[in-house]
Structure 1
């Protein structure tokens, strides 16, 4: 469940409202515990009134007893300050969820042969016999050399079907070497092309014991119980292997689901994970794999895959693999089985064009300035203040806030909760912009429909009563429903926007398409009404002229602000690059268009600007005259 933090948002009713809606979705998803309906995970109920965290956990707020529904019980890391459990010499503390344990450092073992103990009083860590350590390390180094010779044998690698056999042999040799020297619990050996870490288990595991194995830039976490598989008669082992050059041999061309229009490439080292002596691949808990990217890429699709052996040789497959988290430099995957793994990256069509980024930032910055000037004009110019101007003002404000948030926070993905709030706010603001466009279309239609009526007060009263509840209320309802049903789909790994998974993007595109369709109908009906009225009334009638001008402006506005989103959906195929440029240029200049059409091209606004300039000139002339006196001549002024 995503935890929503609303601290510091009281000054913005819009974001605070969105935060509340997203938080509400989290509350609904919580499970009850005991008789308290609000206790979070890792907590229990006290006296049917308050919650307290389980042993080994602390509340995020620091309170021992709490009833705040969004509190979180966090694991106490006993191995770090201020607790810093001391395990004695040649030993170190290992934190686990809700508890901890001590274990001997590499090269040492307990006299009992066990893997862990509770505190320094039970510390019997003794140095492992140097001869055994040296011999086992040499054996593992020899295994690494054999692996390198296999990977550099071009004759062997020419037959791609040999890849699966090679991977299986490497895993078998590494496990065999580790199990032959069970006294050396941990072995880490690496060369320029291969890195190996093994872990040997000689006793039972606790329920939450997790092994973490690291090889250069990659790592793996696996449950201890999955390593021993119930085997208590002898040692068990887990091996994690990284290949720095194998990706050039089994590259992305082996991916079974690659589309022709996508550019897919392998962007991590190939790693292998295996357990023994029994190679049972069924796991009670998924194994977690952390990959470092070879190339830093942000806005691309990451795909977790494993090597699936076949009679023909093998290929990369997504079965049983899932993407947990990703950023520009790392990707975390999970798998329900053990095999060899990697991360693929798919570029849909073309890579991100730096020119599009420049156009976006320059265009949006210019639009922000124009939207601000337009809003000030709508507020200060009394000659144009009416219902239409009020609608323009609200549209300008919504677009200004949406563009400002997009420009400053669209890629702030470091904090997932904050990113989800930003995505929700953008969803709301852009929907509100389209809703105000719909209200403009409705107002035009109602005005044209009442052309024969001298008194337009009924239309004005209706719009004044309707516009604010609809303009800001309808988008809020849509965002509330979306956030309550799928709060985890707000914010992606690269952008603070709506996820494409489960077609969630239609929570935005659906209302947008509906507004465009309804407004198109309104404008067609207005044109039809005007045609009829022009045949019976004088074409110079000011009311008809005004409505004609407003209709043309609103139609152009619908195209500029609405239909351009259709260009975003058409960015596929050979015309994708052209559509991307058109979409970026037109969308980033929306504010410029509004200021140009509704302000600079308005005769009333031009007259208002002229009066301001004239009054300013007269004021300066009066000041100059007062300073030098009425009898002063120009030649006397120096």
Structure 2
């Protein structure tokens, strides 16, 4: 075809040339022709292009463009040159080919439309589920047409009966109504391939042992007696696990006082079903449990760790059973010995995120996903409970078998015991640990606190640190992080002084010397008539109290094998040491009365006995009635830390009162000495009495001040000082009241001379002796002391 076209073109040119030659005229150049006037005019080669065979002068899919004296070819709209030339004059077959705009031009069609190529152009067609904004089927980008979503749900019964249609972009979905389901188990469908059917007919076991019914809000399950939905009546009925409330032999034998309560609690549990039981009865189950716990705690039956384990296990299971019957969002209940906080969530969707339960003694931070668990046993239900016991710490304060203390270290519970339960039954190893804040019973600056839980597997039950750690600790509280749930507490570490041989030796030697010296003081103040007075009577009973206390200390302080005997020893030591302080207080009051009020004013004997022995008797009696179990510890027959202030409290009060009286006495004495007082001899004696009383206060008071430091670690120096001052009290009292008294030394000299150098007295000596004694007696009958 190209050859033929070229040949025609050459023939035309040749013909024109020949014509001009023949006419003997001027030859027109190429692209021009001669008109009738023999003028050369421009020739439009494209004018008769369609007359050419095989697609014209430029070929198929091309157009001819005339120029002055020539022409050029260009591919038609929608086509492109195979040689990538924009214009050409020598066309070739198939030079102009169709352009695929759908591939070469990005996003040529609007959203939700498909591009379809055609020759020579293209067309945009809306996708399935969409239609054009003008209603045309196809269009191009320049037509300003968009594809809009078709709302299929407007068509009637597109999903069929018992289903609802939800429109989506470009499509729709059908969902079964409540109480209906697809046999395939799919959650949704489109078209009419499947139909929603009655759920109760498709799944005959959907309610378990219950009966399936259709209601306005879908299906629901009604449970027979002894079964429950755990708060969600759309789930299968599960048998109530009331076994913990059974009248088991162990519960009956261990807690006979609540035997009837446990039977009643089990019967109430078996009667409970969410659909048939009124709300008031469901709430009553929690209140009845709290009253049962209060009765157990008030009876003080927890005298061994097995009873504590049985009790805590019972409470944990009971809270987990009762939780599903508590109305959302939960309950708060305050008993005599308990406080419970419970959060409850019910519904098909699991709760998420952290939550916090706070009470007076503890605070719990837990993730609700951890509390919900896998929901195998409690579908549609999540509960968290925090139960605090007000007095359980004193019953569980001795069971530390799961902890390995350091040398000379022992533990004491320093928080209330709390129980944490959730509806999740798998709490042995939580995905996320809980955070439990426990507030201290004793606010101390020491940082030796330990987080523990009650481990049922250790020696019948004991405190253990496994899986728990301290996040932070302050004087007011400790924050614990634990990987499991149980009952928790915070322990405070105490440090006992070592039973060193040198301390024991000091104690035995010092107390033995004190006993000898106190015995001599007792003989002196009771048998030497010349020195007897109300003042020496106070000295006598002070020495008697210390003598008996030291003797009991030596004989029974370490006899802890017999609990009753140890408690009696602790009570007697409590009484006689307090009695010594009371007699010391009477001396201070007597000095105050003599100096500030009026000279030669003495207490009556009955009043002194009431103050010296009656007051400590009352204190010990009240302490024993309130906390008799605090008399005697595991190591010594003395007061426990919880009761120690029943001794230190009165002792500190007596010391403060005596200091007050002595300061006033000293001030009054200074005034009297500064004036010209004729009774200077009496003032000198009262001055001496005041000095000895202050010295006596320092001896007794200082010793017990050192004793206050025996509850912290690293107080070995205080331990030695306490031991030395405590064991030598009797020796120092003997030196101060007897050896430093001139009159008593003279009496000792008379007695020794009569014993070791007996001789017959003459009448004159006998007379002199009897005339001298009354003077000495008179001078000391009110004070019982001479100048130091």
Bucket of the pairwise TM-score, normalised by the shorter protein: 0.3 to 0.5
Question: TM (normalized to structure 1)?
Answer: 0.47
More helix by share: 1
Question: TM (normalized to structure 2)?
Answer: 0.38
Which protein, 1 or 2, shows the higher relative CO under an 8 Å CA cutoff with sep ≥ 6? 1
Find the structure with the greater CA-based Rg. Answer: 2
